[in-house]
Amino acid sequence: MNKALRYGIIGSGSMGREHIENLKVMDGVAVTAISDPYEPSRKAALALAPDAKSFTSHQDLLSSGLVDAVVIATPNDTHVDVLQDALTTDLAVFVEKPLATRIEDCKKIIEWNSRRKALTWMGLEYRFMPPVNEVVQRTKNGDIGNVKHVSIREHREPFYPKVNNWNRFSDRTGGTLVEKCCHYFNLMDLVIGEHPTTIYASGSQMVNHLDENYDGKSADMIDSAFVILEYANGARAMLDLCMFGEGSHDKEIFTVVGDSGKLESFLPSHNVRYSKRADWGKALSWGAGGRGGSEQKIVLDLNVKYLGHHYGASYIEHVKFRDAILQGKPPEVTLEDGVSSVAIGLAAHKSIAEKRPIQLNEILN
């Protein structure tokens, strides 16, 4: 490739700068433009990409002629307005999760995107974390038979500070189960092979941000939840989220159990564990004790040049996005993936608020 693919970053807060860090170490790309109305964020981004031209509005960046692709990393509730403009261009578009904060906006975005031919990619990086991706691929290969039971546990620290504290409010984020967990719901759908029919959830704001008040408005992001998804094929999935659980050695554990085996990934230890039920049955005969056959290994991608905050997943995703642009391939992660992941999160919040199971169609229709 004789010419670098030119990227514009729309939104240069912490996630926008994370994208710049990934792009800086990639071959064949250059960050040539940055837009953000907030000057401190713009300056911080320009320190990482000093040759980029700076804009205060995304419209000026989109019309500048300086970019071939854009990465949208603005606050969640602004995605719909930025996409309304970006999807009228011939630029390749990468939009960070969640797609939007309301299902009505998601539907608008899908309709706008249907009118264009250029690549649009939904940023859901969790599936590209190397140990997680190994579990996904081995599940698809049939290593554990038919998937019956999926669980994701994340016990972690509270939300980090954001510009003007926008991530403290559900009306701006879509709520914790949209903002934080949409990529987990996408991953559940990915390994089960369909969308859920019914969502049950229990959650609340128990510990974090209870005394935080901004311009007379109290922070309202929940910090603890259980979410259960039921699928038409009989499979079930559960999310166990605790955002005051900093003490975990592995804060993210992804488990997929089929009728013939089990796969698990552990982060940040990068472990993948695999076992076959038949082997355990031989070893655990009554009174025999002992352990069945199992596999445990560390899964790393040595081609990743920047691990960042997502264990190399953002780098891998950007390589795939770049290659899709250059090779004219369809997106590996679609806006439709973004819609369903947001819809499940919204359904979970509705279940918590109304104390009842929610049919996904109640949200989508």
DSSP secondary structure string for all residues of 299-357: ---TT-S--GGGTTHHHHHHHHHHHHHHHTPPPSS-HHHHHHHHHHHHHHHHHHHHTS-
Reported confidence tier of residue 292, pLDDT bands at 50, 70, 90: low
pLDDT for 280 beyond 90:
no
What pLDDT digit, counting tens, does each position of 39-72 carry?
999 999 999 999 999 999 999 999 999 999 999 9
Phi/psi for 279 (5° steps) reads: -70, -40
Average pLDDT over the chain, rounded to whole? Answer: 95
Non-local CB neighbours of 43 within 8 Å, separated by 6+ positions: none
Percentage with pLDDT > 70 across the chain? 96
Closest by CA position to 54, among listed 4, 6, 9: 9
Q: Write down the residue that tokens 């974090």 correspond to.
A: 208
Please give the Cα distance from 35 to 55 (Å, whole number).
4
The tokens for 146 are 């038919």
Alpha carbon separation from 35 to 56, 203, 336 (Å, rounded): 5, 36, 26
The mean per-residue pLDDT over the stretch 293-317 comes to 93
| pLDDT given for residue 137 in this prediction | 98
Residue 249, judged by CB atoms within 10 A of its CB (0-12, 13-18, 19+), counts as exposed
Per-residue model confidence (pLDDT) at position 294? 82
Look at residue 287 in the predicted model and tell me its pLDDT.
47
- CATH number of the structural domain 5-124+310-331: 3.40.50.720
The mean pLDDT value for 170-175 works out to: 97
Please report, for the chain, the start and end positions of each structural domain, with discontinuous segments joined by +.
Answer: 5-124+310-331, 127-309+342-364
Q: Given a cut of 70, is residue 5 above it in pLDDT?
A: yes
CATH of domain 127-309+342-364: 3.30.360.10
